[in-house]
Amino acid sequence: MSRSQGITRGTYMVARKYLLTTAVSMALLTGCGGGDDDPKATGGTATAAAKPAAKGPAYKGAALPGYGAQAAWSLDTGGTAPGVLDLGGVLLFARDASGAYLTDASVDGEPADVNTVLYASDEPEKLTLEFRDARTGAVRRTLPVTAESVEGVTWKDGAPAVAVGTSATKESDGLTQEETTTSATFYSTAGKKLGETSGYAFGHVVGGYVVSADDGGVRLAPIGAGAVRTIPCNGDDDAECAFDPETGVASGDQTYAPVITDGYYPGFEAAGKYDYDPSDVTLNDLATGKQAWSSADAEVPKGVVLDDEGQPEDRTIRVVRVSDGKALVAWKKSVGLSPTTQVYAWYDLASGALTASYEGPEYVVWSADGELAAEDKGEFETGFEGTSVWKTADGTRLWAQEDGETALDPVRFSGNGEVLYGETFDGVSTHKTLAVDTQTRKVLAKDLPEGSIPAVDAASGYGYLTTEDGFFAFAPA
């Protein structure tokens, strides 16, 4: 279901919904050393031999297919719906000076389906960050901060981290203009200080790099040690590349890729709108800067319609993700308006070999582990006829809706991937929330209450949600 920060977000982590991409993500930085696990060094308080969360309220809501019948742990949140950041096995909450949990920030530009901003304000506030184990609810560490924003980002090697943002304003002296500068301090999921930077903006810290996009180019500056990388953007005089911090995707005319994924960053060839050479995308090693793969040298997968010169009729190419030395790339099958059929292809980066390919839809919902996918409804799509589910490794179709069925618009897989949650619409006014078995298409629950689709912590497979009774976390069934 396609739905389209304080400190301004210009334009990532798993399980996000953006056309084809799963992803989370401005100035030269000064980095800090590796930090210190000593809570005194980080300003935090570690909880020795952390115990499971104290017994909280009982869950009284509807059964949630794919999860345990009872909550694994819960919190009494005082009648509020607390904001939560998923940090990969750790859930981050924040309390204000009174001890009350903060509700989630509503911020322009933040992805609607993945929460990345916990707090945003025009004024600094003293907060206590609470790092809880996703499985047990145990408080791993508390960290007092003064913040104007709290954002979930990714650090080196894609590890989740927290950015605590602040700003400072230099008043006008009557001649000069008032000037506001922003900065952020970064912490690990253990509350350990990782580094800091100036010129901070929402969505612009990915993989421990600050991403800046100016004058048609995209630059990656490391926080701390490391080499600055500039995304190759080649072509005629009008060549222009861009970065969208809402999705973490960089682009060059017809080609797209996550700005940083699994140790690689993209490059773009023939990136001008009036460039008549074929558009191509490359993957480059973040550590060395050397090119590792290029669509120009790649075998075009079977099913892509070719022109009279043997080139793809439409050169729209998207790198979906990179993992375990393989890249999943989507080639547009033929010329046409969105949404159109794609040909998904897996490439081995070491050899360049095409190892598998299959046709699939343009808009996709991914399971937390990336092994399953479901066809999604485009934001402005009017002819959506229903979803289908397939294995992403080879395109094996598990099932597809049939003509005459009520179209299921998928929202999210359960943490174990065994259940697909989605919504149906009668075309007039009634929306229903359903849960469907991903293997058999059997409806496991229908007419679920609004707000009863659990968010997923991919690292643990646990689901979590908030009701008027409190916050509840559920183990996978």
Beta bridge partners of 474: 463
Q: Which residues contact 216 (CB under 8 A, 6 or more apart)?
A: 233, 239, 240, 241, 242
**How distant, in Å, are the alpha carbons of 23, 262, 324, 325 from that of 348?**
20, 14, 9, 6
Give residue 167's identity as a one-letter amino acid code.
S
Domains of the chain, by residue range, sit at 39-198
Tokens in use for 271?
Answer: 């990136």
Q: What DSSP element (H or E) covers 39? A: helix 39-42
The whole-angstrom distance between residue 67's C-alpha and the CA centroid of its chain comes to 23
pLDDT in tens, 45-74: 655 456 677 789 999 999 999 999 999 999
Distance CA 149, CA 97 (A): 15
Across 262-280, average pLDDT: 88
* Residue (of 14, 106, 128, 30) closest to 417 by Cα position: 14
pLDDT in tens, 414-446: 999 999 999 998 777 678 999 999 999 999 999
Q: What DSSP element (H or E) covers 186? A: strand 179-187
Contact 181, 167 (CB under 8 A): yes
Q: What DSSP element (H or E) covers 410? A: strand 409-413
Give residue 415's identity as a one-letter amino acid code.
G
* Residue (of 37, 325, 69) closest to 187 by Cα position: 37
Of the candidate ranges 43-47, 50-54, 80-84, 214-218, the one whose mean pLDDT is the lowest: 43-47
Across 92-113, average pLDDT: 82
CA dihedral 403, 405, 411, 412 (to 10 degrees): -90
Q: For the chain, what percent of residues have pLDDT higher than 90?
A: 71
Give residue 186's identity as a one-letter amino acid code.
F
Q: Name the residue with tokens 């580094």.
A: 195
Q: For the chain, what percent of residues have pLDDT higher than 70?
A: 87
Q: Is 52 helix (H, G, I), strand (E, B) or coil?
A: coil
Q: Is 236 helix (H, G, I), strand (E, B) or coil?
A: coil
CA dihedral 93, 95, 96, 98 (to 10 degrees): 160
Q: What DSSP element (H or E) covers 433? A: strand 431-437
Give residue 109's pLDDT band: very low, low, confident or very high (50, 70, 90): low
Q: Model pTM? A: 0.87
Query: How many alpha carbons lie under 13 Å from residue 152 in its C-beta half-sphere?
Result: 31
Q: What is the pLDDT of residue 51?
A: 67
Beta bridge partners of 187: 162, 193
- Asked whether the predicted pLDDT for residue 42 surpasses 60, the reply is no
Q: Which residues contact 60 (CB under 8 A, 6 or more apart)?
A: 467, 469
Give residue 418's identity as a one-letter amino acid code.
E
Across 217-241, average pLDDT: 92
**Which sign does the torsion angle of CA 463, 146, 77, 75 carry?**
positive
Contact 266, 233 (CB under 8 A): no
Q: Pairing state of beta strands 419-425 and 470-474?
A: unpaired
Q: Name the residue with tokens 């600050």.
A: 210
Q: What is the pLDDT of residue 105?
A: 83
Q: What is the pLDDT of residue 425?
A: 87
C-alpha angle 116-20-380 in degrees, rounded to nearest 5? 85
